[in-house]
Amino acid sequence: MADLTSRNRRRLDLLGLLPFLAYVAVFLGVPTVSVVVGAFQDDAGGWTLSNLGAAAGDPYLHAFVVSTEISALTAAIGAVVGLAIAFAVSASPPGGVLRQVVSTASGVLAYFAGVPLAFAFIAAIGSQGLVTKWLGALGLDISGFSLFGFAGITLVYLYFQIPLMVLVIFPALEGLRPQWREAASNLGASRWQYWWLVGGPLLLPPFLGALMLLFANAFAAYATAAALTNGIIPLVPIQIAAVMSGNVAVGQENLGNALGLGMILVVALALAGYAWMQRRTSRWLR
């Protein structure tokens, strides 16, 4: 009897989650499911694999390759540079101005700078940009460098990748206890031995995890590229947007869904890697 009432009570408790679950189901679940289901349907509603075939076909496969290249490149550079900056900042006194500025700036730039970022780079190294003018005055002509090509996109993406790396890796750097270093040096270890045998192995999982997170972040990014290039460079999100605005052949309405499914898979895989590495890190980080 008591068992029954406690079970009833637990059921009532679960009812409290209903508004939240319903909200997420409607505004996240339904759109996602309709993308996934749509990827396997033709225009008449029948089941087909032709959308996926088309998404893996010529112009779109290329977009996946370019997106992967840009994401991997900006993740790698961003991770290394971000780590260096995080190191530099962690050498400064805790609670100091430098840390405050770097953490706020990282937050703003990593998460909130989509559209402003594109215009900032046009203002800096676009054809009429400030840096372009300065270098021109020095006799250096960089007008051949296109902000809208691969190198340009890489340079701009780093502007949000590096701050994200700083945000993500900083806790791990802070978690390296000074005592471990003292213990190592007490045992006669050199600086290099400490990093090779203690610090490095401890930092490797969070570093690899951050690499995955940065990859997913760049892969999913749309706003900056769209605002910057007007959709010239063939990235997957840009292609999906093009399909959505109807710039494809008739009978390919569900192509956007197939591309979307591909994106979800890539991003989910990268984030799963991130989560896995995070769990390994959390064992020593506290």
Partner 1 sequence: MTAVVDLTTAPRTGTRRKLGRGRIATGLVLIIAALYFLLPVAASVEFSLRGVHDTHDLSTWENLFGQPGFLDNLITSLELAAGTVVITLVLMVPTTAWVHLRLPRLRRLIEAICVLPLVIPAVVLANGVLVAFRGGPSWITGTPVILALEYVVLALPFTYRTLDAGLSAIPLTTLVEAGRNLGASWLTVLLRVIVPNLRTSILNASILSAAMVLGEFTIANLLLMNTLPVWTVQAGQQDGEVATAASMLILIVTWALLLLMSVFGQRGARRTGRSR
Candidate ranges 136-144, 193-201, 204-212, 261-269; the one touching partner 1 (CB under 8 A): 261-269
Q: Does position 121 bind partner 1 by CB under 8 A? A: yes
Among the listed residues 206, 199, 207, the one whose alpha carbon sits nearest the alpha carbon of residue 178: 199
User: Two tokens at 60?
Assistant: 């779109």
Candidate ranges 42-50, 69-77, 114-122, 145-153; the one touching partner 1 (CB under 8 A): 114-122
Q: Does position 109 bind partner 1 by CB under 8 A? A: yes
User: Two tokens at 59?
Assistant: 């112009």
Site for partner 1 in 136-155 (CB under 8 A): none
* Cβ–Cβ < 8 Å for 263, 237: yes
Q: Does position 226 bind partner 1 by CB under 8 A? A: yes
The contacts of residue 189 (CB under 8 Å, 6+ apart) are 197, 198
- Long-range contacts of residues 147-151, Cβ cutoff 8 Å, at least 24 apart: 147/121, 147/122, 147/228, 148/228, 148/229, 148/230, 148/232, 148/233, 149/233, 150/66, 150/69, 150/70, 150/233
- Exposed, middle or buried by CB within 10 Å (0-12, 13-18, 19+), for 93? exposed
Q: Does position 28 bind partner 1 by CB under 8 A? A: yes
Candidate ranges 48-56, 72-80, 140-148, 159-167; the one touching partner 1 (CB under 8 A): 159-167
Pick the closer one to partner 1 by CB: 183 or 197.
183
Distance in Å from the first CA to the final CA of the chain: 44
- Which of 56, 175, 181, 234 contacts partner 1 by CB under 8 A? 181
Q: Does position 162 bind partner 1 by CB under 8 A? A: yes
CB of 186 to partner 1, least distance (A): 6
Q: Does position 119 bind partner 1 by CB under 8 A? A: yes
Total residues in contact with partner 1, by rule CB under 8 A: 84
Q: Does position 135 bind partner 1 by CB under 8 A? A: no
Helix (H) or strand (E) holding 165: helix 150-175
Rounded alpha-carbon distances, angstroms, from residue 162 to 9, 14, 106, 128, 156: 49, 42, 8, 26, 11
Q: Does position 232 bind partner 1 by CB under 8 A? A: no
Q: Does position 108 bind partner 1 by CB under 8 A? A: yes
CB of 73 to partner 1, least distance (A): 16
Q: Does position 75 bind partner 1 by CB under 8 A? A: no
Q: Does position 115 bind partner 1 by CB under 8 A? A: yes
